[in-house]
């Protein structure tokens, strides 16, 4: 198991399953469909899972399945904003985060733009100076002036105790 999870109790409540027996993915958390909308018109949609994987160097990932819903020449992508906290913020699991303050941003990542359907991954390495990580993912339609995006859905975990 990764160096952060060695002495830890699994702390994610929205756990779908645990995978691996020493290395690999852990604490899979589903996230349901989100939609980028223009009024009542759905421009793009996405759904997927968030998970920890120590086979790639202790990283928190979002796997997204996203689809362009309009044939308008503007593709879609997912955008994940990353946050860390110096406190142990998921004592009862993802569904009841214990920290409302102390989160600090650590950049954002985008998946590739597509005008069809695609599976994409966004990942962030865990920080030794933090105790919890979360990501806020959204689906966006790419536009030359201003992208149209869905709300963010958050998933995360505490990785030291």
Q: Is residue 61 part of a domain?
A: yes
Identify the domain containing residue 61 by its residue range: 15-158
Q: Is residue 1 part of a domain?
A: no
Please state the rounded mean pLDDT for residues 37-47: 97
The alpha carbon of residue 130 and the mean position of all alpha carbons in its chain are separated, in whole angstroms, by: 17
Angle at CA of residue 152, ends 37 and 148, nearest 5°: 30
Q: Is residue 124 part of a domain?
A: yes
Tokens found for residue 31:
């996230």
pLDDT band with cut points at 50, 70 and 90 for residue 65: very high
Q: Is residue 150 part of a domain?
A: yes
Q: Is residue 5 part of a domain?
A: no
Tell me the whole-structure pTM to 2 decimals: 0.82
Residue 62 pairs in a beta bridge with 50, 122
Please state the rounded mean pLDDT for residues 54-67: 92
Q: Are 90 and 12 in contact (CB under 8 A)?
A: yes
**Which is more confident, 26 or 134?**
134
pLDDT tens per residue, range 92-125: 555 567 788 999 999 999 999 999 999 999 999 9
Nearest to 86 by CA among 29, 122, 125, 126: 126
Do β-strands 15-17 and 25-38 pair in parallel, antiparallel, or remain unpaired?
A: antiparallel
Q: Are 46 and 64 in contact (CB under 8 A)?
A: yes
The count of structural domains within the chain is 1
pLDDT tens per residue, range 142-159: 998 999 999 999 999 988
**Does residue 67 carry a pLDDT above 70?**
yes
**Does residue 69 carry a pLDDT above 80?**
yes
**Does residue 1 carry a pLDDT above 50?**
no
How many angstroms separate the CA atoms of 53 and 135, rounded?
Answer: 15
Q: Is residue 19 part of a domain?
A: yes
Predicted local distance difference test score (pLDDT) of residue 116: 97
Nearest to 157 by CA among 139, 130, 138, 122: 130
pLDDT band with cut points at 50, 70 and 90 for residue 28: confident
Predicted local distance difference test score (pLDDT) of residue 6: 39
Name 56's Cβ contacts closer than 8 Å, sequence gap at least 6. Answer: 123
The alpha carbon of residue 81 and the mean position of all alpha carbons in its chain are separated, in whole angstroms, by: 8
CATH number for the domain that contains residue 112: 2.60.40
Q: Is residue 2 part of a domain?
A: no
């Amino acid at each position: 198991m990764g160096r952060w999870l060695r002495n830890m109790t699994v702390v994610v409540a929205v756990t779908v399953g645990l995978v691996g027996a020493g290395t690999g993915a852990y604490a899979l958390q589903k996230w349901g469909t989100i939609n980028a909308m223009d009024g009542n018109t759905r421009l793009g949609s996405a759904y997927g899972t968030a998970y920890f994987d120590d086979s790639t160097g202790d990283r928190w990932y979002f796997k997204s399945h996203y689809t362009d819903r309009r044939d308008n020449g503007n593709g879609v992508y997912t955008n994940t904003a990353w946050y860390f906290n110096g406190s142990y913020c998921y004592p009862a699991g993802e569904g009841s985060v214990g920290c409302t303050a102390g989160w600090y941003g650590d950049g954002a990542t985008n998946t590739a733009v597509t005008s069809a359907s695609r599976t994409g991954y966004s990942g962030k390495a865990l920080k030794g100076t933090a105790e919890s990580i979360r990501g806020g993912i959204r689906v966006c339609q790419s536009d030359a002036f201003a992208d149209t995006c869905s709300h963010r859905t958050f998933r995360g975990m505490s990785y030291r105790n």
